[in-house]
Amino acid sequence: MLNFPRWKVIGIWAILAFGILLSVPSLLPPSVSEYLPGWAQRVHVNLGLDLAGGSHLLYEADTADVARARATLIEDTVRRALRTNTPPIDIGEVSTSGGQLSFVVRDPTQVDAALQVVRDATRPSGFGGVREWDVSNQGNRVTLRPTQAGLDNAINQAMTGAHDVIDRRINALGTREPTIQREGTNRILVEVPGLQNPDQLKALIGRTAHLEFRLVDLSVTPQQIQSGRAPIGSQILPYAEGGPGARIAVQRRAIITGDMISDARQTFDQQDGRPVVAISFDGNGTRRFARVTQENTGKPFAIILDNVVLSAPRIDEPILGGSAQIRGSFTVDTANSLAISLKSGSLPVALRIIEERSVGPDLGADSIRNGIIASVVATAAVLIFMFLSYGRFGLYADLAVAINLFIIVGVMALMNSTLTLPGIAGFVLTMGTAVDANVLINERIREERRKGRSVIMAVENGYKEASRTIFEANVIHVIAGSIMLLMGSGPIKGFAVVLLIGIVTSVFTAVVFTRMLVSQWIRRNRPTEIHI
Amino acid sequence: MRLLKLVPEDTNIGFVSMRYWAFGITGLLTLLAVATVWFQDLNYGVDFAGGLMIEAQFPQPPQIQQVRDNVDRLGFGESHPSPFGDGRVVSIRLPVPASADPGAAAAEASRVQASLRAEFPGINFTRSDNVSGKVSDELIRKGIIAVLLAVFGIAVFSWLRYEWQFGVSTFVAVMHDVLMTLGFFAITRMEFDLTIVAAILTIIGYSINDKIVVDDRIRENMRKYRKMDMGPLIDLSVNEVLPRTVMTSITVLLALGALLLFGGHVLRGFSAAMMLGIVIGTYSSIYVSASMLITLGLKAEPPKAKGGPGRRSGPQNESYDGAQV
């Protein structure tokens, strides 16, 4: 146990030196570390939001919303397929509740043909595509139920889309180093360091920004609007400019949708100087808008954002230039964030905040300062105590514990881990286990000495017996740490990461490194008595 | 230089003979802890209860009643303001908004902030959390599962590694530690949040670490002194590792004490839970898990042990004479 060949000694020192070196960029103050080469700057420990300050927003998508949108989409597909069939198949009593589509084929002799058409229309695309709808009929009522695979697929696509949209919106805001990641099936976590007041961010991300231009349906009577029952082909929506509770009837068909917008920016109205959003259409949008405004000059059209009619201006003349203005009760800020939302595309699914945490930079700085003071005091207390208890062996243990702390930082930096407040607590526990390992060894050596063993035998046995216990105890910590890492959420994970790294490094420094120091000392001095 | 020795060498404390007293007292305390948690419930933080938490730093320590009146006037529910540290930092809690509107919580938060800002100029909002009921339910479930899994995983490990008695006694002792810690939080009304779950997991880890050390020594002595009775053998083992147990506990308590004093209010609950857990865990290694091994009928000679002279002799046939080989 006490024999260390030269290559081993060099190897151990090299590992320790490498670990300590890795920790350097993270420990230097930012004013110094910016002069380091780029690769060295990248090897650093990130500070969690609780230390650096910032906002943490957890969004959840309404999966029922995705199912509903899909049902509406498939309704269009099915209607078109049945209408263009020869002979056309007439259907009625269409309902899209609960994410499934069901309708009645009016001519009972056409049910089989209708089923065939619907099956063709919903056939999975491409080789190995997943069947997305189960088509069944009961008499002449045909029902399309979404398959779980199809729904999962759609949710996944919607979430991927939502992730991209959020990414574009946050980047447009120019925020530094945001983290945007998907969690589970239908959640997105957004973390923005350094941002104390997330209101603007929330307004930006939370808006679906589903923009549509549609013609106002003038044929609908006020009574119908009052009752809320719209005739086929039109829809009754809230009307923002008409005062509280006002509603307006619009056509179902959209002239322009959000994906036809090529640019959007905040500007001021030339007449009254109020903030507005100016938008430009792409080629397709320009053509369509020109055609519709030519055909409907003198009639009003509605600008609809997220199912609310913002305004319903009259078309005074055909608009051929491919641009328009969105008016509403905007401030410069809200107009600006709407412009960003429109330009980045609409969210494919509505998101809502289910968890929000923000930490001010003052508290973060306080936490860092407190954490550092506490760690320094804790470390100093432990080191002094160890030295008083074990003398020279205590000093070796102290060296091991101190190096251990640096190496943990180094490994975390290499993995680009995030240090959180619970992570600092993890440091304290790791130091505890590192100390425990050293205590186990030294107490064992004391014991062996009391039993009358020679110095070399006592040290040898001490390390051998204690190593077994240390190994077993640390397997336990690995089990606990892994469970925390797998099962735990945010803060628990931060704790587990430090714990797991610390277990490995502390066993190495406590068992291997101190043994090397002790054996070298014994070989040089051949002591016949040790103070321990 | 004289080295510090906290525990005199060769202690010979009869831990095992006190075990019936210890079981009785431990059982009573655990029952008390469970009853307190049951009837009084824990003071859940927003992580587990859901709702809003706003932490504000005032220029001077405010009258808590004034803060409470200010927030309660808004009609969002009871605000439970509680001061921290020098009294300038106050945390305000509000229940989950009754409205189903997802934006309701955020709107409440900004109205509370505006209202406080109007009455206390110079106020600085240092932290705000809002957690929906759905997320908090998940966090509770995940927390409980994580703790149970950790305890089970570790008990299974000790069972596979040693005899089943070690697995059972470790499980019972660790559950005792967890329940006592929960009881502590129920009695003190300290806030119970996610970091406390991390603390409990750490306590479990530490406590089991301690039990492994004791169990390991018992196993070692079982091989060494094949004919010794379990009672004296456990006493001998516990006494042998006593210096290490005390030394490690005190070192970790020193580190945690520093965290408690200097770590700021965010880490206070964590450090307090950990310190208590260390004491409880150390106690339960000796008086719960080690003493229980006798009750569970651990034999001095494990059936799995490799053969040797006299290995079939019963545990009771020779008494321990206190000699060390």
Q: Which residue's structure tokens are 């286990």?
A: A433
Q: Are residues A73 and A104 in the same domain?
A: yes
Helix (H, G, I), strand (E, B) or coil at A314: strand
Q: Which of these, B192, B200, B191, B47, lies nearest to B129 by C-alpha position?
A: B47
Residue among B208, B194, B202, B206 at smallest CA distance from B144: B194
Domain final residue pick, A315, A343, A371: A343
Does A354 reside within a domain?
no
pLDDT category at B136 given cuts 50, 70, 90 is confident
- For an interface test with A, the pick among B191, B195, B261, B271 (most A C-beta atoms closer than 10 Å) comes out as B195
Query: Pick from A343, A373, A405: which residue ends a domain?
Result: A343
pLDDT at B183 over 70: yes
- In this predicted model, what pLDDT tens digit does every residue of A380-422 receive, in sequence order? 988 998 899 888 899 999 999 999 989 999 999 998 888 887 7
Judge whether A57 and A201 are in contact, CB under 8 Å.
Answer: yes
The identity of residue B9, as a single letter, is E
**Which tokens belong to A51?**
């230390």
Pair (A165, A228) in one structural domain: no
> Crossing angle for the helix pair A455-487 and B133-161, nearest 10 degrees?
150
State whether A339 and A428 are in the same domain.
Answer: no
- What is the percentage of chain A residues whose pLDDT exceeds 90? 10
Question: Please, what is the Cα angle at A463 between A457 and A467, to 5 degrees?
Answer: 150
State whether A329 and A365 are in the same domain.
no
Question: How many angstroms from the chain centroid is the CA of residue A75?
Answer: 33
Q: Do A376 and A460 have their domain in common? A: yes
The answer as to whether A348 is a domain residue is: no
% of chain B at pLDDT higher than 70: 90
Same domain, A295 and A327: yes
Is A359 within 8 Å of B126 when comparing Cβ atoms?
yes
Other Cβ atoms less than 10 A from the Cβ of A143: the count is: 15
Q: Longest C-alpha distance within chain A, in Å?
A: 109
CA distances (Å), A303 to each of A251, A262, A268, in order? 12, 17, 18
- Considering only alpha carbons, which residue of chain A is nearest residue B247? A439
Check: CB of residue A436 under 8 Å from CB of residue A49.
no
**Confidence bin at A14 (pLDDT 50/70/90):** very high
pLDDT score for B33: 93
- pLDDT of B321 higher than 60: no
At residue B9's C-alpha, the angle toward residues B6 and B14, to 5°, is: 95
pLDDT given at position B320: 41
The answer to whether residue A438 is domain-embedded is yes
| Pair B116, A450: CB distance under 8 Å | no
Residue A454: count other Cβ atoms within 10 Å of its Cβ: 11
A97 lies in the same domain as A47: no
Instruction: Give how many domains chain A has, as a whole number.
Output: 3
Residue A32 lies in a domain: yes
8-state DSSP, A131: P
Q: A257 in a domain, yes or no? A: yes
Query: Cα–Cα distance between A334 and A390 in angstroms, integer?
Result: 67
Give yes or no: residues A174 and A227 share one domain: no
Same domain, A156 and A79: yes
Is A223 in the same domain as A308?
yes
pLDDT at residue A77 tops 80: yes
Interface of B with A in 172-211 (CB under 8 A): 194-195, 197-199, 201-202, 204-206, 208-209
Pairing label, strands B82-84, B89-94: antiparallel
In chain B, what residues touch A473 (CB-CB under 8 Å)?
208-209, 212-213
Q: Are A311 and A397 contained in the same domain?
A: no
* Mean pLDDT in residue range B125-147: 82
Residue B295 tokens read as 């009750």
In A241-353, alpha helices (H):
283-295, 332-343
Q: Which of A420, A445, A443 is nearest to B250 (CA)?
A: A443
- A103 located within any domain: yes
pLDDT bracket for residue B310 (50, 70, 90)? very low
The residue among A116, A164, A120, A174 whose CA lies nearest residue A142 is A116
Mean pLDDT score, A97-106: 85
Looking at residue A250, its amino acid is: V
Q: Is B38 within 8 Å of B185 (Cβ atoms)?
A: no
Q: Tell whether the model's pLDDT for residue B309 goes beyond 60.
A: no
CA distances from residue B26 to A350, A454, B151, B209, B286 in whole angstroms, order as listed: 54, 43, 19, 20, 12
Residues of B in contact with A386 (CB under 8 A): 251
Q: What is the DSSP string of B231-247?
A: HHHHHHHHHHHHHHHHH
- Residue A108 gets which letter from DSSP? G
Q: Using only the alpha carbons of chain B, give its radius of gyration.
A: 25
Q: In whole angstroms, what separates CA A7 from the centre of its chain?
A: 46
How far apart, in whole angstroms, are the C-alpha atoms of residue B83 and residue B265?
Answer: 10
Judge whether A267 lies within some domain: yes
B99–chain A Cβ distance below 8 A for any pair: no
B247 CB within 8 Å of a chain A CB: yes
pLDDT tens, residue by residue, A341-361: 888 888 888 888 888 888 887
For residue A504, how far is the Cα from the chain centroid? 29
Q: Residue A132, SS3?
A: coil
Evaluate whether ipTM surpasses 0.85: no
Nearest CB among B102, B110, B240 relative to A353 is that of B102
Classify residue A508 by its DSSP letter. I
Q: CB-based contacts of A478: which residues, under 8 Å, 6+ apart? A: A500, A503
Fold exhibited by the domain B16-43+136-295: Multidrug efflux transporter AcrB transmembrane fold (1.20.1640)
Query: Whole-angstrom Cα distance, residue A230 to residue A249?
Result: 7
Residue A69 has pLDDT above 90, yes or no: no
Secondary structure element (H or E) that encloses residue A352, with its range:
strand A351-359
If one compares B122 and B1, the residue with the highest pLDDT of the two is B122
* Domain assignment present for A349: no
Per-residue tokens: A375: 């760690």
Other beta carbons within 10 Å of B63: 8
Bridge partners, residue B130, by sequence: A356, B52
Alpha helices in A253-360 (DSSP H): 283-295, 332-343
B119-142: b (≥16 Cβ within 10 Å) or e:
ebeebbbbbbbbbbeebbebbbeb
Q: For residue A59, which of A349, A454, A422, A327 has the smallest C-alpha distance? A: A349
Q: Helix H segments across A28-147?
A: 30-33, 38-42, 49-52, 63-83, 111-121
Which tokens go with A515?
A: 């043994």
Chains A–B, number of C-beta pairs less than 8 Å apart? 234
Which residues of chain B does A374 touch, with a Cβ-Cβ cutoff of 8 Å? 258-259, 261-264, 267
Give the pLDDT of residue B319: 41
pLDDT at A49: 81
| Residues A366 and A509 occupy one common structural domain | yes
* CATH code assigned at A406: 1.20.1640.10
Nearest to A374 among B105, B201, B259 (CB): B259
Domain that holds residue A300: 210-343
**Which range, A74-78, A364-368, B35-39, B260-264, has the best average confidence (pLDDT)?**
B35-39
Domain containing A249 — which CATH number? 3.30.1360.200
Rounded to a whole number of angstroms, the distance from the CA of A489 to the nearest CA of chain B is 8
Fold classification of B51-131 (topology level):
Alpha-Beta Plaits (3.30.70)
Q: CB-CB: which of A357, A388, A447 is closest to B240?
A: A447
